[in-house]
Amino acid sequence: MESVTLIAPAKINLYLEIIGNRSDGYHELIMILQSIDLADKINVQKSSIDRIRIRCDNPQLPTNKSNIAYKAAALMTSEFPEAFVKHGGLNITINKHIPVSAGLAGGSSDAAAVLLGVGLLWNLGLTQSELEILGAKLGSDVPFCIGGGTAIATGRGEQLSALPSLENIYIVLAKYRSIAVSTPWAYTTHRQEFENIYNKDTQSLAARAAAVHSRDIVKAIVNRDTKEVAQFMYNDLEKVVMSKYALVLELKEVFVNLGVLGTMMSGSGPSVFALCESKQQAEEIKYNVRKTIPNQDLELFVSQLIGHGIQLVP
Ligand SMILES: C[C@@](CO)(OP(=O)(O)O)[C@H](O)COP(=O)(O)OP(=O)(O)OC[C@H]1O[C@@H](n2ccc(N)nc2=O)[C@H](O)[C@@H]1O
Ligand SMILES: Nc1ncnc2c1ncn2[C@@H]1O[C@H](COP(=O)(O)OP(=O)(O)O)[C@@H](O)[C@H]1O
C-alpha cells in the first residue's frame, strides 16, 4: 500500500465540567464528547524523500512543524524508527472543512487520522488503545478522535469510556470566522474566576452546583432521550467566552428564540450548536438564523451526530 485516505470528523462537547486543577497545569474534567459528520479529508502517502511534508488547502494553517498533523507524523517516526527507515518519508495532504480554532477539535482529528494512516501504511498492527496512548502525547482530545462516537472523557480528557451511540440526531452549528478563542486562555480565565468568585460567593457556588448534571445527561444518552440530553447539556467554559465575546452569547439567544431543543457552546468555543428535532427542523433553524444574522462572517452548518471516529476511504 502506497497511500491511504481517511475521513477525520469534528467533535462537539455535549457536557464539559471542570472539576479541579492538576499539578501539571491542566484541569481535571468530566466531558461528554460527540463526533459529528463535519469532517476533514486526510491523505497519507509514502514518499521517496526521507522527510515529512504537509500540504493544506487552507492558507490560514501552517504547513511546517507546528501543524499538528506534522507532529503526529513526527511522533510515528520517533516511536517506530525502523519502520521509518524501511518505508521512507510521508506526504500528508489536508482538505480542511472543519472550522479552525472553533472548539471542534479539527486539528486533533487530523492528528488522529495521521496516526491511524501511518500505522496502516507501515503495517504496524496498532490497536485502538495503542493509538489512543500515542494520541494522548499530542493533545487531550486526540485519543477520543480516533474511535469517536459518543464517549465520556475524564482526566484531562484522554480517559475514555464509550457511551451508547447518539447517531441520526441533527444539529445546527454556528461559528463566526473572525472569532478565535485560545483554549489555554479559556481554562486560565475560568480558573481565575472560580477562585475569585465561586470560592467566596456561596450563591454562585450553589447556582453552579444546580447546573451540573453529568449523571443525568449520561442517563438521558443511555435512554436515547434527545429532549433530556438537550436539557442537561452544560459547559463550564461558556461563561468566560460569552463574557468576552457578546456575539457568541447572541448566537445562543437566537437559537433559544427559534425554539431549538437545546443549545450550547462547544469546548472552548466559539462554535455554538443547537440540538434539533429533525433534519427538516435543523434546515429551517439554519435558514432562520441566517435571516436574523445576515453577517457573512457567520458560518452555518447542518450536521449529524455520528457513531464513529476516523474512517478509511475505501
Ligand atoms: C476545550 C476542549 C474540550 O474538548 O477542546 P477544544 O475547545 O480545544 O476543541 C479540550 O479540553 C482541549 O483539548 P485539546 O485542544 O486537545 O487540549 P491540549 O492541546 O491538550 O491543551 C491545550 C491547552 O488547554 C488547556 N487544558 C486542556 C485540557 C485540560 N484538561 N486542561 C487544560 O487546562 C491547557 O492550557 C493546555 O495547554
Ligand atoms: N491540522 C490543523 N488543523 C487545525 N488547526 C491546526 C492544525 N495544525 C495546527 N493547528 C493550529 O491549532 C490551533 C487550534 O486549532 P483547532 O484544532 O482547529 O482548534 P479547536 O480544538 O479549538 O477546534 C490553531 O491555532 C491552528 O493554527
Give the chain's end-to-end CA distance (angstroms, integer). Answer: 12
Residue 54's pLDDT is what? 98
Amino acid at 228: E
ipTM of the complex: 0.98
Alpha carbon separation from 9 to 58, 71, 93, 279, 307 (Å, rounded): 17, 19, 16, 19, 11
Backbone angles phi, psi at 202, to 5 degrees: -65, -25
Sign of CA dihedral 48, 52, 56, 59: negative
Q: Classify strands 234-235 and 170-176 as parallel, antiparallel or unpaired.
A: unpaired
Residue 168's pLDDT is what? 83
Q: Is 3 annotated as a binding residue?
A: no
Is the model more confident about 201 or about 130?
A: 130
- Average pLDDT value for the chain: 95
Ligand 2: atom nearest CA of 66 is 9
Q: Which residues pair with 235 in a beta bridge?
A: 16
- Among 183, 239, 265, residue to substitute to test ligand 1 (most atoms within 8 Å of Cβ): 183
Ligand 1: atom nearest CA of 269 is 7
Q: Which ligand has an atom closest to residue 136 CA? A: 1
- The tens digit of pLDDT for each residue in 32-68 reads 999 999 999 999 999 988 899 999 999 999 999 999 9
DSSP state of 22: -
Confidence of residue 108 (pLDDT cuts 50, 70, 90): very high
Domains identified in the chain and CATH numbers: 3-166+308-312 (3.30.230.10), 170-304 (3.30.70.890)
Total residues found in the chain within this entry = 314
Identify the residues whose C-beta falls under 6 Å from ligand 2.
Answer: 61, 67-69, 94, 100-108, 110, 183, 267-268
- Among 16, 68, 140, residue to substitute to test ligand 2 (most atoms within 8 Å of Cβ): 68
**What separation in Å is there between the alpha carbon of 69 and the centre of ligand 2?**
10
Indicate which residue's Cα is closest to atom 19 of ligand 1: 139
Query: Which active-site residues does the annotation give?
Result: 11, 141
Sign of CA dihedral 26, 185, 194, 207: negative
pTM recorded for the entire structure:
0.96
Whole-angstrom distance, CA of residue 239 vs CA of residue 212: 14
> Which helix H or strand E contains 115, and what residues bound it?
helix 106-121
> Which helix H or strand E contains 170, and what residues bound it?
strand 170-176
Measuring CA to CA, which residue among 171, 169, 174, 179 is closest to residue 290? 174
